[in-house]
Amino acid sequence: MPVNPGFVYGTIDGIREEGVEIRAMQYEQIEAMIQKYCDAASFARQCGYNMITLHGGHGWQMHQFLSPRDNKLTDKWGGSVESRMRFPLAVIEAIRKRVGPDMPIEFRMSATECLPDGYDLDEGIKIAKLLDGKVEMIHVSVGHHEIDAAAMKTHPTMFLPDGYNTSYAAEIKKHVKTPVGTVGALTDPEMMEELIASGQVDVVNLGRQTLADPDLPIKARLGRADEINLCLRSFYCFSNSTIDGVFYCATNPEIGREQASLTTPLPAHHRLKAPPIGWAA
């Protein structure tokens, strides 16, 4: 269960382009936020979830502490990468105390912000090293949602190769002992298997592809990869979620209509022939 209590534009002072005032978080607010993460993790455990994912990438609240672009604090919470990591590490330590040692924690991070004024891969490696041994998995993504050019690398478009971001996870894995996961533009089970078998990563994480076909793992395991409904990377899911708050899928009519699909048979449809692996959709 992903844990992200809220998106807080609180780590810099100033005025955003749309006129929203930005106030630096006070010490008491930071401590209160740490407890909110703990509360969310504890509630997830009560609900029966067996793993916690902390989102520390893509410009979300925790990532704002990590980013030199966003974090302009001059106290112990800002400055060097070690100081900017203080908040995520404090959250991890507090959650561990609350839920115990037997509930895995995955930390999702951006290996690089893909921005000229953000951190690069070298600093992303430093972040991963500071996480090493403190979580059960380091989930490596890239980018920053608040800047379109960087967001298009977070969620590779149809014009980028399959597995576009895997090289970042593979590089970080060279520097840590903690298992490393990769994500982004992965649809082909053979490619996923090769990434793991070759030692580039330990885990493959899927996002949009699980909307296109939630049964991909089962089909791949049964040797029915040719039946997998592939994600087209058309961003239909994102555009609809922005408009009305509901995810739909360009190739899977059940997504967003799950309740109706339980009682209403879907019409027969013809699956488009998958493009060759490596072809830009």
Please write the tens of the pLDDT for every residue from 13-61. Answer: 566 667 777 788 889 999 999 999 999 999 999 999 999 999 999 999 9
Task: Quote the number of domains for the chain.
Answer: 1
**Which residue segment(s) compose the domain that 92 sits in?**
2-155
pTM of the entire predicted model: 0.85
Whether residue 219 lies inside any domain: the answer is no
* Model pLDDT, residue 128: 98
User: Chain-wide mean pLDDT for the chain?
Assistant: 88
Q: Are 162 and 277 in contact (CB under 8 A)?
A: yes
Whether residue 174 lies inside any domain: the answer is no
172 phi and psi angles, rounded to 5 deg: -65, -35
* Model pLDDT, residue 5: 42
Whether residue 33 lies inside any domain: the answer is yes
Whether residue 162 lies inside any domain: the answer is no
Please write the tens of the pLDDT for every residue from 89-148. Answer: 999 999 999 999 999 999 999 999 999 999 999 999 999 999 999 999 999 999 998 788
Q: Are 140 and 183 in contact (CB under 8 A)?
A: yes
Please write the tens of the pLDDT for every residue from 188-218. Answer: 999 999 999 999 999 999 999 999 999 999 9
The CATH number of whichever domain residue 42 belongs to comes to 3.20.20.70
Task: Categorize the per-residue pLDDT at 152 as very low, low, confident or very high, splitting at 50, 70 and 90.
Answer: confident
Whether residue 51 lies inside any domain: the answer is yes
Task: Categorize the per-residue pLDDT at 6 as very low, low, confident or very high, splitting at 50, 70 and 90.
Answer: very low
* Model pLDDT, residue 25: 86
Whether residue 235 lies inside any domain: the answer is no
Whether residue 274 lies inside any domain: the answer is no
Whether residue 207 lies inside any domain: the answer is no
Q: Which long-range contacts (CB under 8 A, 24 or more apart) does 83-89 make?
A: 85/127, 85/130, 87/30, 87/34, 87/62, 88/54, 88/56, 88/62, 88/131, 89/130, 89/131, 89/134
